[in-house]
Amino acid sequence: MLKKRLLMVVLVCLGGYSYSNYYFGSTNNSVSNSLTWDMNNVLPDLYNLKVNGVFYTYTPIKNTEDPMKVYVSNLNPNGGYTFRETDDWSGKPGGVAIRKAIGFEYIPRELWGDGSIEVDGSGSITNAQVVYTYRYEEGCSSPLDSPTCDGYADAVLDVIPDTIITNIYNALEDDNVDRDETEVDYKEEEQEQEEVKEENDLERALAINEETLELGNNIAQNQMLKAMNSAIQMNSYYAKSIDGGTYKESVVIDGGRIKDNPRGARMGLVSDALHDKMVDMQYSRGEKND
């Protein structure tokens, strides 16, 4: 507890100290012709880089009745997968592009192994793209560059004069202070710090989704523009008209009018008579039963 108090006082004394800023970026399309890629060639070599999102898109080529699954994944160097997404196209038509954006809670680059897109079943894919978003920090040329740098705590204490450290007031060593009350104050302060941390975690998670969705929207908009351009190129064909004008009616009725069919009229009368007879029979049967 005293150590925490000591570090708080040290940071107050270092009024001119500034924490490192976070920076964000995204990769180019990672997919090669073989649908596999080396993450060492995809992610840049930046300090404390962590991946916070994956966006991918592709178009399946298949018959509707054929079974087909597509796996987009990254191996974990320690075993298994760091990321693996399955798209089941069985019983579904091909030719329609799929787009997905997946967010993460900042996974270190050391856990991102080789990436791949695998097709299981009858069919193939085309126009595949996989893009990673990430966050990184300034480098650690000195332990004081960032609280995340190795040896940061010791380096902060080294720049504080010994007289300040030895004269730091410790309420636990003061006989005039109620120790129980002081411990309660410490617990309340720790609880407040935990609540602040939870709020920061929530804001960070929301930022991940916003960054990933923004990237996905940009790529989706590019795909829509391509589709619109294709439609514009087809308009010249749809706008063509057929020569010849209108097609007039050529059927001519003999005599100029349609005559009534007397045979049909007789059949209609016979049907009416039979219907009336059936109704009379039903009523007669009902009266006998009564």
Position 252 confidence tier, pLDDT thresholds 50, 70, 90? confident
Q: How confident is the model at residue 69 (pLDDT cuts 50, 70, 90)?
A: very high
pLDDT in tens, 102-119: 999 999 999 999 999 999
- CB within 8 A of 54, min separation 6: which ones? 72, 83, 101, 102, 104, 130, 131, 132, 133, 212
Q: What is the pLDDT of residue 228?
A: 63
pTM of the full structure: 0.47
CB burial class (10 A; 0-12, 13-18, 19+) of residue 113?
buried
pLDDT at 58: 96
d(CA 29, CA 130): 5
Whether pLDDT at 3 is above 90: no
Q: What are 51-62's pLDDT values in tens digits?
A: 999 999 999 999
pLDDT of residue 78: 95
Alpha carbons 121 and 89: distance in angstroms, whole number: 9
- Mean pLDDT score of the chain, rounded to an integer? 77
Least confident range from 38-47, 84-93, 214-223: namely 214-223
